[in-house]
Structure 1
Amino acid sequence: MTDLALSRPFSPLRLESRSLAWRAGAVIVGSLLLALSSQIKVPMYPVPMTMQTFAVPLIGALYGWRLGAVTVIAWLLQGCVGLPVLAGAAGGAAYFAGPTAGYLLAFPFAAALAGWLAERGWNGSRVGFAFASMLAANALCLVLGVAWLATLIGLSKAIAVGATPFVLGAVLKSALAATTLKAFAPRG
């Protein structure tokens, strides 16, 4: 990558140059997107498959690593206080101690990772790298989610029910997110 590419970071929404009100609005819109993506789910036990792992890294890449992580944290706080923003229109502090806790707590880190990589050229301007960054964010969610789940049901069972069924979905959602990110890439 050239120095010129690094001097112009990927920032399709240009949120870093917007007012605090704009950024606050972006956090609200992002948390609404996360709440909606949480409702698109395939029921699985003990962890449902949702579109959250499509939305989380995409928000990180579009918002930048800092505001992306803040947006995901805001959404998690909404869920923690009981707002129905988590999978199945659920909310409450119990979700942050149950089988899904590791995945939920991984989300801000996944958004930050995707945003950090996007700012360094792994973005919609280079769709292969965008796919790799989205896949890395999804993998981080699976690793941290399985690590927590393993404390509840053991490592081999956690991998069997908390990672293996989600690998194909992670690949497909990463491809969809990279394609979506490409739509935001500067032309020319």
Structure 2
Amino acid sequence: MSLAHAVRKPAFSPLNLDNRSVAMKLFAVISGTMILALTSQITVPMLPVPITLQTLVVPLIGALYGWRLGALTVLAWLGEAAMGMPVLAGGNGTLAAFAGPTAGYLFAFPVIAALTGYMAERGWNGSSLPKAFVTFLTANILALGLGAAWLSLTIGAEKALIVGVAPFIIGALIKSALGASILKASFRK
């Protein structure tokens, strides 16, 4: 068996970024961070954690870009925030965001991008709407879990569940359905 046969190619790669040039991959990362920055500004203000489109777009980038490039794109976006660029919800972009009430969610984002990319590459993608839904729902649950875990360090576990999870459950279901539908629309046989 040759090395070419031993390397597993993704089963789902609608943008085919694995086979693109470095320049195209760089363009995808920059475009992805711009999309994340823009959709982060679409918020429903709540305290201590706002509702945003991030939990739709982050896993979508993972699923469409693949687990490696998806996670790298999200890390680049978070790097922009750490450098002071106003790319997070409400135009936030400081190191303080990585220690505040939303830090757990921010740290969850590269993980969920990688997770959705990994699951999509293994068949949990637009080829099956229910599987795509499970992929997005898993990502949303993980983001809520990690976000609430961090939040509980400052306000306690019970309050973290009340303000950091409960208000987001219906949104997580809606975003999971929307993400699954987008993946289904992007699926090519």
If the length of structure 2 is used for normalisation, what is the TM-score? Answer: 0.94
What CA distance in whole angstroms lies between the structure 1 residues aligned with 2:93 and 2:10?
A: 39
| 1:103 pairs with one of 75, 95, 105 | 105
Q: Following TM superposition, by how much is the alpha carbon of 1:125 offset from its aligned partner in structure 2, in angstroms?
A: 1.0
Paired residue total: 182
4+ runs deviating over 6 angstroms: none
C-alpha displacement of 1:185: 0.1
2:69 corresponds in structure 1 to 67
Is the aligned partner of 1:47 residue 2:49? yes
Matched with 1:172 is: 174
What percentage of residue pairs aligned between the two structures are identical?
59
What does the per-residue CA deviation read over 1:137-158, in whole Å, with 9 as the maximum and x for residues that have no partner? 0111000000000000000000
CA distance in 2: counterparts of 1:45 and 1:89, whole angstroms: 16
Local SS of the residue matching 2:91: coil
1:9 and 2:11 correspond: yes
Kept in 1, the 8 Å contact 2:10–2:122? The answer is no
What are the Cα deviations for residues 44-78 of structure 1, in whole angstroms up to 9, with x where unaligned? 10000000000000000000000000000000000
**CA-to-aligned-CA distance 1:111-151 (integer Å, 9 cap, x gap):** 00100000010001111100100010011100000000000
Deviations 1:19-66 (A, max 9, x none): 111101000011111111101110010000000000000000000000
Q: Which moved more, 1:176-185 or 1:99-108?
A: 176-185
Unaligned runs of at least 5 residues, structure 2: 1-7
Distance (whole Å) between structure 2 residues aligned to residue 181 and residue 29 of structure 1: 18
Query: Superposition pairs for residues 16-165 of structure 1, below 5 Å?
Result: 16-165=18-167
Give the match's secondary structure for 2:90. Answer: coil
| SS of alignment partner, residue 83 of structure 1 | coil
Scaled by the length of structure 1, what TM-score is found?
Answer: 0.95
Deviation at 1:7, TM superposition (A): 6.3
CA distance in structure 2 between the aligned counterparts of 1:148 and 1:71, rounded to whole angstroms: 23
Aligned equivalents of 1:128, 1:32: Cα separation in 2: 29
Aligned CA RMSD, in angstroms, stands at 1.0
The alignment partner of 1:88 has SS state of helix
Q: Which one-letter code corresponds to 2:55 in the other structure?
A: T
Q: Counterpart of 2:146 in structure 1: which amino acid?
A: L
Q: C-alpha displacement at 1:8, in angstroms?
A: 5.8
Q: What secondary structure is seen at the aligned counterpart in 2 of 1:113? A: helix
> 1:69-101: CA deviations, max 9, x gaps?
000000000011110100011111000000000
Which whole-Å CA distance do the structure 2 matches of 1:8 and 1:146 have between them?
32
Give the letter for the 2:124 counterpart: W
